[in-house]
Structure 1
Amino acid sequence: MAGPVFARRGFLSAATGLAAALALTACGGGTEPATSAAPTGSAAPGGWTFTDDRDKKLALPERPARIVAQVGAAAALWDFGVRPVGVFGPHKLADGAKDPQVGNVDITKVEGLGNVWDEFNVEQYIALQPDLLVSSMYVKGTLWYVPEKSKDTIEQVAPTAGIMLTGRSATQVIGKYEELAKSLGAGMEGVPEAKARMEAATKELAQFKDLKILLMSGGPDAMWVVNPPEYPDIVHLTAAGLDVVTPSKVDEGGFFQTLSWENADEYDADVILYDTRTQSLKPEEMLKKPTFAKLPAVAAGQLYPWRAEVPFSYQGYAAFLEELVANLKQASKLP
């Protein structure tokens, strides 16, 4: 699963397989729409407009009330006060528990249209009578988790909005979701407090500038060293003063460098942050790889979680950064 396919489907998402099937008819909906606080679906002066990151200006006579969103987008919007009626992408684990990617979304109150890559139930989508579909984008113009084979039909049902992730900082992405949420009438409850927490934790990161930090994901036969400029969260960390390893040779697609476990010591690091998503090996599994277990950072116990798909909201990033600060306070520069 190496190469660009893994970059898009595995490493960047918590999709655990490539699967699928779709259809086209109608079935019952009944999910409650919209946002918390502030009226939704009401006509604003001149109607509703929003320019997304495809430079596409969306315009509707009334504010959209029934929102369907890719799980990452849904998690961000939820924290701002928007309540989607449907989600697609990994939101439920095999045991029925919530996938971490879906954040604070109450999955019992939204319709699930698909849980794995290339799965999107078009007939359920139509039945929801959506006013707007929202998705993140890793490639401009390509809505994440909207299947290529059914995207034309999906885009005929309702307008779509894309929020770009690649090459941006977390603050830029969060700001774009905030702009969208405000346009949708979101209540913003708890947002100022969360923003203050995020800003405070960000300032604390500068004290760890002497630590060399490597971020990685592990698979059965390889480890992937991430390329910082491609990830909004890591762009945020480096801008705040952290010294993050940049691989010398990235794979096609630019997101990471693939290394065999035998070459796990390619880069020196005082701290290793490991990918916590479901498709990545857990620490106890990686520790069975002798070359990984012998790495100085691992041997020193300076192996900490990387929450690679934390929601792009102030609440999500406040929690992510506070945990990271607490972990880095335990770490020290290695000889």
Structure 2
Amino acid sequence: MADAAGTGGWGFTDDRGAALAAGRAPERVVAYVRAGAALLDLGVRPLAVYGSGHDGEALDPVKAGGLAAAGVPYLGPGRALDAARLRALGGVDLLVDVTYDGKSPYAVDEALAAESGAGLAALSVSGELSLPAIVGRFGELASALGAPPGTAGRWGDAEAAVRAAVSRADVTVLALSGAGPEQVHLARPHAWPELALLAELGVRFVDPGPGPGANWLTADWEHAVGLAPGLVLFDSRANAVPPHAVPPGARLAPWNPETPPSPAACARFLQDLAAALEDREP
């Protein structure tokens, strides 16, 4: 929320419950790639972005959204950043990260913010929140950072496209992330906000089965093939490997588990999924 401190200056309370306050709205923002891509969609151009521990020295194009086209620099993995690197940018007002546990930022050390003199906001992207709630929080932050009115948008038409596709195509879906020839991580749909939304829209997901893991069931490819889905959503990020085995007759479609939480990105995801369900070009 804006002016959370009640001082007449700028304020925002993040999803860890941390209240940020400043004399004016932060202008020089550095963000985790996923958060930065969402902010860009919402009308706030980051000064630069950084990656997670899964990312290398080059920006993963699957996670980048419109960042590369907008010329936003990539600083490499967040855990490798130091205060000197941020100061070399000419100063940073705010770091924006995501959080999965509501306690800690995912991709950057909290100490970096203190060392660099920047604030740190972490917004939740966990499965405990609905996708609209997550997108709404990023919209609130973008608004607090001065995003132009009307940039939030909606994705109702894209939801309708998924419902229509479901009514025309009787397809079961399995979402997974390849880990190599011996292992595959099978997504538990309720743990992923975008997959949970698809389920609400009528998409029939295959249950990966019992076992450890709140977000994924780690299994072998034989188990995945045996689930016999009609459509496989495969993790298309650079740190995942392509499907090692494909269930007979199944179609493949890419899935980015770190889709930027913005209306525009979510609408594209839903439209692409609707096309995949009906086996047509998006």
TM-score range, shorter chain: 0.7 to 0.9
- What per-residue deviation string (whole Å, max 9, x for no partner) do you get for residues 300-324 of structure 1? xx22222322211111111111111
2: CA distance, partners of 1:297 / 1:217: 19
Structure 1 unaligned spans of 5+: 1-43, 287-291
Match of 2:113 in 1: 154
> 3-state SS of the aligned residue for 1:50?
strand
Report 1:183-194 matches (<5 A): 183-188=144-149, 191-192=152-153
> 3-state SS of the aligned residue for 1:118?
helix
Pairing partner for 2:65 from 78, 98, 103: 103
Q: What RMSD, in angstroms, separates the aligned Cα atoms of the two structures?
A: 2.7
Pairing partner for 1:122 from 83, 88, 101: 83
2:83 counterpart of 1:131: no
Check conservation: 1:250, 1:256, Cα contact below 8 A.
no
Q: Normalized against structure 1, the TM-score is what?
A: 0.72
Q: 1:86 offset after TM fit, Å?
A: 1.7
2:239 counterpart of 1:279: yes
2: CA distance, partners of 1:189 / 1:180: 14
Check conservation: 2:165, 2:275, Cα contact below 8 A.
no
> 3-state SS of the aligned residue for 1:133?
strand
Q: Aligned pair in 2 of structure 1 residues 239, 196: CA closer, same or farther (>3 Å)?
A: closer
Q: Aligned pair in 2 of structure 1 residues 97, 127: CA closer, same or farther (>3 Å)?
A: closer
Q: 1:224 offset after TM fit, Å?
A: 1.2
> In the alignment, residue 322 of structure 1 is paired with which amino acid?
Q
Q: 1:111 offset after TM fit, Å?
A: 3.8
1: CA distance, partners of 2:60 / 2:188: 28
Q: 1:218 offset after TM fit, Å?
A: 1.4
Check conservation: 1:166, 1:230, Cα contact below 8 A.
yes
2:269 counterpart of 1:320: yes
1: CA distance, partners of 2:34 / 2:184: 24
2:260 counterpart of 1:311: yes
Greater shift in the superposed pair: 310-319 or 104-113: 104-113
2: CA distance, partners of 1:205 / 1:158: 46
Q: Normalized against structure 2, the TM-score is what?
A: 0.84
Match of 2:18 in 1: 56
Paired positions, count: 269
Q: 1:143 offset after TM fit, Å?
A: 0.8
The structure having more radius of gyration, on CA atoms, is 1
Q: 1:207 offset after TM fit, Å?
A: 2.1
Structure 2 unaligned spans of 5+: 1-5
> 3-state SS of the aligned residue for 2:30?
strand
| Higher percent of residues as strand | 2
Q: 1:191 offset after TM fit, Å?
A: 4.2
Pairing partner for 2:224 from 261, 264, 268: 264
Match of 1:235 in 2: 196
Q: 1:99 offset after TM fit, Å?
A: 2.1
Check conservation: 2:16, 2:122, Cα contact below 8 A.
yes
Q: Aligned pair in 2 of structure 1 residues 169, 153: CA closer, same or farther (>3 Å)?
A: same
